Amino acid sequence: MKKLLSLGLVRGLIWEVFGTALGMGIVTGVRALMGLPPWKEEPAVVFGALLGALLFLYGVGVLDDWQKWARGEETHEPVDESHLGWRRYYSVSLDHKVIGIQYLVLALILMSVGGVFALIFRAELTETGMQFLTPIEYNTLMSLHGMVMIVSILLGVAAFMNYLIPLLIGANDMAFPRLNAFSFWIAVPAGIILLSSMLLGGLDTGWTAYPPLSVRAPMGIQMFLLGVSLAGFSSILGGLNIITTIIRLRTKGMTPFRMPIFVWGALATSLMTLTATQLIGLSFQLVMFERLFGMGFFDPAKGGNPILFQHLFWFYSHPAVYVFVLPGLGMISELLPVFVRKPLFGYRWVAMSSLGIALVGFLVWGHHMYASGMAEYLRVPFMYSTLLVAVPTGVKFFSWVGTIWRGKISFPAPMMFLLAGIVVFLLGGLSGPPNATVSTDLHLHDTYYIVGHFHDTMFGGYIFPFFAAFYYWFPKMTGRRLNEKLGMLHFWLMTPAFFVLSLSMMRIGLLGMRRRIMDYDPAMGFQPYHLAMTIAAFLIALGILVFFINLIWSARKGEIAKGNIWNSRSPEWQVPSPMPMHNYDKPFEVVGEPYDYGLPGSTYVKFQEGE
């Protein structure tokens, strides 16, 4: 028992349960004192969940050092926790590598949950008619699949940025280690609250939660809105930390254009999370207030406007897709040179294209609203700005092709995932312009075509590159390599199935299959496609199951990774695996270009000699 309580997570969860009960009690008590009927479920549950989340953070201990500072007490610097073994991952740690892995595990858990949701409603869609789900169950699973995956992707992005950025730029840790721990731990109650919406009536709004539907939805929507708002803090504070770290903590000689290219992707992403996430939090909180206090922000009967929500929502949620993909695209640019043994073609152009995408990404949100009934003249300028995104994105593709051209290409598991990522993201990119031009989008909007397009960008820009990163950096994290044969099995189970899935989505979407429907007209003749998609979805799941088996098996029994296994120029591979506690015992200096493979006698970094 004592051993169990020594884990921060367990303490946090106990405090969260206590806080939730306390919050519900407070609301009930206040109502009783005001002479109202004491028990009203919705405000009690919302306030309880909020207080539960705050007390979780207190209980887990992530506020301890700040409390000490406020009292004027001394805090000690982070100590070596490696003697704790696996247990250090269950408590607050200030080590960016531990936090990175904590993020990674939480991201994988949520990815599995979101994936299982998809499998359930995908199975339901195999046949017309309702098989085993009720309408509200279907809508809840469909809505949560979207949002759970989004949170999972944000955490996965944060995981690799946290683990890699200090290593790649030669820093001992992040700029704000305590804030870093806070950013991770707030995501835990956020995830719990988000999933608790299933137990509180579910929701039928999709991940977009448009009012007035979300104002009339079952109470689960409140947990959905609150969970996302809390997860937003994780994103905003994490972004701040990454930007500061990149600007302030680079090692000697690492000028901006000598940074590893992944760092540019992370910088662009973090600029967006820091400045745009507020808008989704705000829009969701306004819906919460509309439900709790009867405020009519989006209610036309009270002078509100439902379109206003969509503007606020998409001002974040469009840049968000670039938040998801820019680190992944950075990953592709980072790892391709290693496996083709050639410099990254046009480094500066690739670096600037990430910032270009981030900048233009802020100006395109209206393309989600061509059919919404917003002011009609706005549609044309948004069409121009949206199509402009194709230019920097094109630069990336051309640069990848230029990088591969005349290389000496080998095909280990990470490379396979990179190549699939490029092709899948290409499909996502090329299926984009018909959504950008208004008249064609008026056909495609809210159909399965969009679902296919979106899954192509997410798999190409996130899933495939991040699996590549797993196979590539897992040895750095654990000191053992992932099994190559299982890696290939994972790849071949997942990749062809994904093409079947996304191309079928686009095919039936063009023919008239709407998105977010639990049943479809048998007369449309879509059953064969739905059957194929269901089989494909289960094959993808099987591939990911193989990946998990590989992960667990290789962490214990995998081949020991000795030295620079990928023959990389990057600094983290010049030191032993797993990474030592304070990263680099001897600081290094950047003396060359990061990707000068094939230039005899050149190195990227030089470690200081002696003490």
Considering beta carbons, is residue 172 or 208 the nearer one to other proteins? Answer: 208
Instruction: Determine the 3-state secondary structure of 609 from DSSP.
Output: coil
Min CB(303)–other proteins separation in Å: 9
Q: Assess contact for 224 and 240: CB atoms under 8 A.
A: no
When asked if residue 258 is in the footprint of other proteins (CB under 8 A), the reply is: no
Cα–Cα distance for residue pair 529/502, rounded to 1 Å:
11
Inter-residue contact 398 to 389 (CB < 8 Å) = no
Whole-angstrom distance, CA of residue 268 vs CA of residue 250: 17
Q: What residues from 447 to 486 belong to the interface with other proteins (CB under 8 A)? A: 447
Candidate list 438, 542, 545, 581; residue touching other proteins; CB under 8 A:
438
**Total residues belonging to the chain:** 611
Do residues 133 and 192 lie in contact, with contact meaning Cβ atoms separated by under 8 Å?
no
Q: For other proteins, which residue of 193, 395, 546, 590 counts as binding (CB under 8 A)? A: 395
Distances (CA, A) of 111 to 148, 153, 154, 387, 408: 7, 8, 11, 31, 35
If the CB atoms of residues 316 and 448 are measured against other proteins, the closer one turns out to be: 448
CA neighbor of 66 nearest in space, from 163, 176, 151, 156:
176
Residue closer to other proteins by CB (options 339, 472) is 339
Q: Smallest gap, in angstroms, from Cβ of residue 5 to other proteins?
A: 42
The first and second tokens of residue 321, run together, are 């897709």
Which run of H or E residues covers position 441?
helix 438-444
Q: Taking the complex as a whole, how short is the minimal distance between the CB of residue 421 and other proteins, in angstroms?
A: 12
125 within 8 A of 73, measured Cβ to Cβ:
no
Q: Indicate which single residue of 82, 131, 439, 608 sits in contact with other proteins (rule: CB under 8 A).
A: 439
**442 binds other proteins, rule: CB under 8 A:** yes
Find the binding residues for other proteins in span 542-601 (CB under 8 A).
593, 595-599
- Comparing CB distances to other proteins, the nearer of 171 and 450 is 450
For other proteins, which stretch binds (CB under 8 A), given 67-75, 201-209, 227-235, 324-332?
Answer: 201-209
Q: Of 405, 522, 559, 608, which lies in the binding site for other proteins, with binding defined by CB under 8 A?
A: 405
By CB under 8 A, tell whether 422 contacts other proteins: yes
Residues 324-343 close enough to bind other proteins by CB under 8 A: 340-343
Residue 36 has φ and ψ, to the nearest 5°, of -90, 165
Residues 281-300 that bind other proteins (CB under 8 A): 300
Candidate segments 27-35, 389-397, 479-487, 580-588, binder of other proteins by CB under 8 A: 389-397
Q: Which two tokens stand for residue 343?
A: 């410099």
Interaction between residue 127 and other proteins (CB under 8 A): no
Q: How far is the CB of 376 from other proteins (least distance, A)?
A: 8
The total of other beta-carbon atoms located within 10 Å of residue 396's CB is: 25
User: Binding to other proteins by residue 436, rule CB under 8 A?
Assistant: yes
Nearer to other proteins, 94 or 338 (CB): 338
Of the listed pieces 186-194, 253-261, 514-522, 538-546, which binds other proteins according to CB under 8 A?
A: 514-522
139 in contact with other proteins (CB under 8 A): yes
The single-letter code of the amino acid at 575 is: V
Which of these, 188, 182, 186, lies nearest to 241 by C-alpha position? 182
607 near other proteins, rule: CB under 8 A? no
Nearest approach, Cβ of residue 438 and other proteins (Å): 4
Is 7 or 120 the residue whose CB approaches other proteins more closely? 120
Torsion sign over Cα 49, 55, 61, 65: positive
Task: State which of residues 253, 306, 496, 578 lies at the interface with other proteins (CB under 8 A).
Answer: 306
Q: Which of residues 340-379 bind other proteins (CB under 8 A)?
A: 340-349, 371-373, 376, 379
Distance between CA atoms of residues 205 and 213, nearest Å: 6
Q: What is the rounded distance in angstroms from the CA atom of residue 319 to the CA atom of residue 313? A: 11
Under the binding rule (CB under 8 A), the answer on residue 105 touching other proteins is: no
Which of helix, strand or coil describes residue 480? strand
Identify residue 311 by its one-letter amino acid code.
Answer: H
Cα separations (Å) of 550 from 11, 482, 483, 498, 578?
A: 31, 6, 6, 20, 18
CB-nearer residue toward other proteins: 50 or 508: 508
Stretch that binds other proteins, among 24-32, 257-265, 320-328, 509-517 (CB under 8 A): 509-517
Pairing of strands 605-607, 588-590: antiparallel
Is the CB of 187 or the CB of 350 nearer to other proteins? 350
What would the x/- binding string for other proteins be over residues 205 to 224, using CB under 8 A?
A: xx-x-x-xx--xxx------
- 131 binds other proteins, rule: CB under 8 A: no
